[in-house]
Amino acid sequence: MLLLFFLVELVGVVLGPLAVAFWWRRRSGATWQAWFFGVATFTVSQLILRLPLLTLLTMALRDVDVSPSSPAVWAFNAVVLSFSAGLFEEWGRWFFLKYLAKRVRDFREGVMFGLGHGGIEAIVLVGLNVLGTLVLLLMGDTILAQLSALAPQDADAVRQQIEAVRTLPAWAPLLGLWERVLAMTLHVALTLLVVHAVRQQRRALVWLAVGWHGLFNLLALAVLRLTESTLAVEVALTIATLASVWGIGRLRGVLTAGQMTIDSAESAC
């Protein structure tokens, strides 16, 4: 059953974002260009800029004599991880929307942009992680039989990883799939906020998006540390996502007015 649910998660995180984008395209008439700009924003801000920088920072600090279990160290790491994501992604969103995606100025195109950003994140980061987990499940015995070639500490780490995967509850992959739904909702809401920031030329709204994004991530890390329960994390994030849904509703009216203006201008041409 665990294997089946991981397969469901893999299909969901890879094909689900594409299916939602196709549905929104048919429902609203939004352009695929907006979706690809969202994909490009995530690729540049996270994969090209943030992740390599975090890797270099980790390597630079690996010899620092501090206890990883220290509450102060945990808090520092949590804040850096949480808010650096918001810093890179939201200002990346602002850059692409202001200078490159100049036709993304309304609710329809903003949602499509957000679906591209959140969708490629699900496909690349979560999809590859689930694929790796499936390899451990399907080839665990073969991997264990070959551990003699590794150093003892490395072999123990691999054994623990395989055992951790095998002892997961069957429903755990479904939580991962639900978390992607919450994350994509967040990315749509944040995109709409940054679209509004670009239209109004108010950079303070971009900083609001950075904070919103960072607090969402920090909430997940804090609840996991306090409860050691992924179920509790998803419950907390589900409640927090109500703020994203509220934000989408509030911004819809503001940005739909811009959509009507653009449509009228196109009709007059």
Query: Using one digit for the tens of pLDDT, what is the confidence trace for 157-175?
Result: 888 888 888 889 999 999 9
- Token representation of residue 141: 């015995």
Distance CA 162, CA 136 (A): 6
What is the reported pLDDT for 70? 79
pLDDT at 140: 83
How many structural domains comprise the chain? Answer: 1
Token digits of residue 256: 């739909």
Whether 120 and 43 have beta carbons less than 8 Å apart is answered as yes
pLDDT of residue 161: 86
Task: Provide the 3-class DSSP secondary structure of residue 106.
Answer: coil
Per-residue pLDDT tens digits for 195-249: 999 999 999 999 999 999 999 999 999 999 999 999 999 999 999 999 999 999 9
Q: Check residue 139 and give its pLDDT.
A: 87
- Which parts of the chain register pLDDT below 50? 262-269
| Residue found under tokens 């397969």 | 7
Q: What is the pTM of this model?
A: 0.90
Query: Which two three-digit tokens encode residue 264?
Result: 């009228």
- Burial class, 204, CB count within 10 angstroms (exposed 0-12 / middle 13-18 / buried 19+): exposed
Pick from 176, 186, 55, 53: which is nearest to 126 by CA?
176
Helices (H), the chain: 2-28, 32-42, 51-61, 71-95, 107-121, 127-145, 152-166, 172-200, 203-227, 230-268
Q: Domain range holding 136?
A: 2-268
Helices (H), 146-171: 152-166
Query: What is the spatial distance between Cα 110 and Cα 197, in angstroms, rounded to a whole number?
Result: 12
